[in-house]
A and B are shown apart, each in its own frame.
Chain A
Amino acid sequence: MGMTITEKIMAKSAGKKNISIGESIWLNVDTLMTHDVCGPPVIGIWKNEFGEKAKIWNKDKLVIFPDHYIFTANKHANRNVDILRQFAKENDVDNYYDVGTDRYKGVCHVALAEEGYNVPGNVLIGTDSNTCTSGAFGMFATGVGNTDGAFIMGTGKIWEKVPESMKFTFNGELPEYLTAKDLILTILGDITTDGATYRAMEFDGSGVFSLNMDERMTLTNMAIEAGGMNGIIAADSVTEEYVKSKGITDYEIFNSDNDAIYHSKYNYDVSKLEPVVAKPHSPDNKDTVRNVAGTKLTKCYIGSCTGGKLSDFKMAAKILIGNKVKIPTFIVPASTQVAKELAEETIDGVSLIDIFKNSGCDIGQSSCAACLGGPDDTFGRSVDKDVVISTTNRNFPGRMGSKKSEVYLASPLTVAASAINGVITDPRDFL
């Protein structure tokens, strides 16, 4: 019987020839990632449980990115980074990317790709739910909590139930007004926030393989928003070129067999899809941008692991160039590398960063910033009854700050178009 790409990677990692859906197996973890919110409790549990003999199973396989609560005066938040720093020093963790140094990166899921930790065929576990992002590289990547993180830190192992797979096929080439964000919000509208609970979400089709790595990461990033265990896209020549540019030569490409068993299959013709939003207060509350066009906004936000990558900003800049924003618009490059690229990349000879500045946007420092609200002094945080349109991935009440605020999730194209008008606007009006 055929196997899916997820099953093949899990079987390899467990050292087994055959595995069956629903079976619990022990995986050997290739990379463990943690950050400033979950890292300190992971370290606490690890010390507590392993006591005197606590030892990292393989310190080269542990990666730590402080990224969540960074540019804040909040003393508890800063204490968390101090704990990470101390831990990295005591344990010789080379893959620690400290705040305030040249090594500082920003949002972990984007930094994992940039720093060459995403390797086709590998198993990557992170103490962050959006760890599924790395599945864009044809690897098994999923999020866990602190106890599981601590267990992996000491043993390199994790138990997982072999998931059923769901297949989402997008055929055709994306028109200029459509982005990966529209594809994943469309899926969420169709299957809802628990439509993929405990399952693998596999993305396939010419529409998916025509996307660059940034856009593929936007798709897999939000698998968790549908409850998915992982999102995955088989590695192809685009993936290979990317990972080779990071110096990775040791990887393995897996593909699903034609006779693999799926829980369900969804097929989309991308030429028939439209720009969409997720209305407050749930990522599956889908509507077309056309239907909600004209909704009054108070803030725009372009950032996060979902919508703060270079290609997200290229899309936004394409719309914003030569225009002024009508309402406060926050630009947060996910990583310091993206921030650097904003100064280097140009449209008509103008750098992206200048395009944003000229149109009146506020530019923040690389981190998660207001994607998850954060302490009161967080850049771009929603206040009071703000109505925000954002390229982030969650719009639960209070997620971006104020519990009274309302958040619409949309593509960078839609957010940029809306920034110009101060109301929700279809990007096709500017393309």
Chain B
Amino acid sequence: MENIIKGKAFVLGDNIHTDQIIPAEHLVYSLTDEEESKKYGHFALSSVPIEKSGLPNGGIKFIEGDNYISEYKIIIGGSNFGCGSSREHAPFALQKAGVLAIVAESYARIFYRNSVDGGFLVPLETPEKLNNLVSTGDEIEIDLSTYFLTNKTTDKTYTLNNLGNVLPIVEAGGIFDYARKNNMI
């Protein structure tokens, strides 16, 4: 695990559900075929209503044109991020699109587990809502050794919750690597 995560912020509202992250009609593509799985990146966040996509102003596409990689590496959400279905395709799609971390007030349980156990990205929780303090496009730096998030654009720093007892799984890079490290499998 890298201790420093850097990138541009993409800001979303509360209750971003898995149907918005990756709509059900796209769940049929292979997750293992390198070429085909790029479609997940291409359609990531494609069902977020456009006026709520890229806050505070909205109207910003997460993925431009035919791309499958987004220019935004850090997602700033509100409460209950990733609610809805159990589809692991959701954190997978975000990872495919190049997302490294999500920062939100709270997560739906299955999305949180999937992100951690699959080693797709780091789901970080904040004690206060950050999605009205950060704007889409702001340059963000997260230090996982101190749990500080710095908005380089506004030069403000915020504290994140520590990862608690999922830290060893995040550090190992997912549940399988964790289990191998601990001789469970």
What residues of chain A have their CB less than 8 Å away from a CB belonging to chain B? 24, 37-38, 41, 44, 48-50, 69, 74, 76-77, 79-80, 127-129, 131, 143-148, 151, 154-155, 157, 159, 161, 193-194, 197-198, 227, 229, 282, 372-375, 394, 396-399, 403
Contacts of B27 in A (CB 8 A): 37
Contacts of B151 in A (CB 8 A): none
Do A147 and B117 touch across chains, with their CB atoms under 8 A apart? yes
* Interface 9-residue window, one of B3-11, B102-110, B153-161: B102-110
A50 to chain B: closest residue by CB: B185
In the A-B complex, the 8 residue pairs with the smallest Cβ-Cβ separation, listed nearest first, are A76-B28, A145-B88, A145-B114, A194-B80, A147-B118, A129-B86, A146-B88, A143-B86
Give the contacting residue for B175; candidates A151, A374, A399; CB below 8 A.
A151
Contacts of B185 in A (CB 8 A): 50, 154-155
B113 touches A (CB below 8 Å): yes
What residues of chain B have their CB less than 8 Å away from a CB belonging to chain A? 15, 17, 19-20, 23-25, 27-29, 31-32, 47, 49, 79-80, 83-89, 106-110, 113-114, 117-118, 165, 174-176, 179, 184-185
A200 to chain B, nearest CB (A): 11
Contacts of A373 in B (CB 8 A): 23-25
B22 to chain A, nearest CB (A): 11
Residue of B17, B24, B25, B174 with most chain A CB atoms under a 10 A cut-off: B24
Residue of B28, B32, B79, B118 with most chain A CB atoms under a 10 A cut-off: B28
Given contacts A128-B86, A403-B47, contact A397 B19 (CB under 8 A): yes
A64 to chain B, nearest CB (A): 15
Do A129 and B110 touch across chains, with their CB atoms under 8 A apart? yes
B177 to chain A: closest residue by CB: A49
Residue of A49, A147, A397 with most chain B CB atoms under a 10 A cut-off: A147
Extra contacts besides A80-B28, A161-B165, A396-B84 (4): CB < 8 Å? A50-B185, A74-B28, A375-B25, A398-B47
Do A197 and B108 touch across chains, with their CB atoms under 8 A apart? yes
A155 to chain B: closest residue by CB: B185
Give the contacting residue for B15; candidates A128, A146, A147, A194; CB below 8 A.
A194
Contacts of A147 in B (CB 8 A): 88, 114, 117-118, 174-176
Contacts of B24 in A (CB 8 A): 372-374, 398-399
Do B28 and A77 touch across chains, with their CB atoms under 8 A apart? yes
Do A397 and B86 touch across chains, with their CB atoms under 8 A apart? no
Contacts of A79 in B (CB 8 A): 28
Do B29 and A76 touch across chains, with their CB atoms under 8 A apart? yes
B175 to chain A, nearest CB (A): 5
Give the contacting residue for A127; candidates B29, B79, B86; CB below 8 A.
B86
Contacts of B110 in A (CB 8 A): 129, 143-145
Alpha-carbon distance A74/B29, docked complex (angstroms): 11
Contacts of A375 in B (CB 8 A): 25, 28
Contacts of B15 in A (CB 8 A): 193-194, 282
Alpha-carbon distance A88/B7, docked complex (angstroms): 44
Do A227 and B109 touch across chains, with their CB atoms under 8 A apart? yes
Contacts of A403 in B (CB 8 A): 23, 47
Contacts of A77 in B (CB 8 A): 28
Do B87 and A38 touch across chains, with their CB atoms under 8 A apart? yes
Alpha-carbon distance A37/B87, docked complex (angstroms): 9
Alpha-carbon distance A157/B118, docked complex (angstroms): 16
Contacts of B83 in A (CB 8 A): 193-194, 227
B177 to chain A, nearest CB (A): 9
Contacts of B20 in A (CB 8 A): 396-397
Report 9 cross-chain contacts, Cβ distance below 8 Å, ordered by A residue: A24-B165, A49-B176, A131-B86, A145-B88, A146-B118, A194-B79, A227-B80, A282-B15, A398-B23
B174 to chain A: closest residue by CB: A147
Contacts of B17 in A (CB 8 A): 396
Alpha-carbon distance A282/B47, docked complex (angstroms): 15
Given contacts A37-B87, A128-B86, A396-B19, contact A194 B108 (CB under 8 A): yes
B180 to chain A: closest residue by CB: A49
Do B87 and A145 touch across chains, with their CB atoms under 8 A apart? yes
Alpha-carbon distance A399/B31, docked complex (angstroms): 22
Do A151 and B84 touch across chains, with their CB atoms under 8 A apart? no
Contacts of A229 in B (CB 8 A): 109
Contacts of A145 in B (CB 8 A): 86-88, 110, 113-114, 117-118
Contacts of B80 in A (CB 8 A): 193-194, 197, 227
B77 to chain A, nearest CB (A): 12
Give the contacting residue for B117; candidates A38, A129, A148; CB below 8 A.
A148
Do A148 and B114 touch across chains, with their CB atoms under 8 A apart? yes
Contacts of A41 in B (CB 8 A): 31-32, 88-89
B47 to chain A: closest residue by CB: A398
A143 to chain B: closest residue by CB: B86
Alpha-carbon distance A155/B174, docked complex (angstroms): 15
Contacts of A197 in B (CB 8 A): 80, 106-109
Contacts of A49 in B (CB 8 A): 176
Alpha-carbon distance A24/B23, docked complex (angstroms): 32
Contacts of B49 in A (CB 8 A): 397
Contacts of A198 in B (CB 8 A): 109
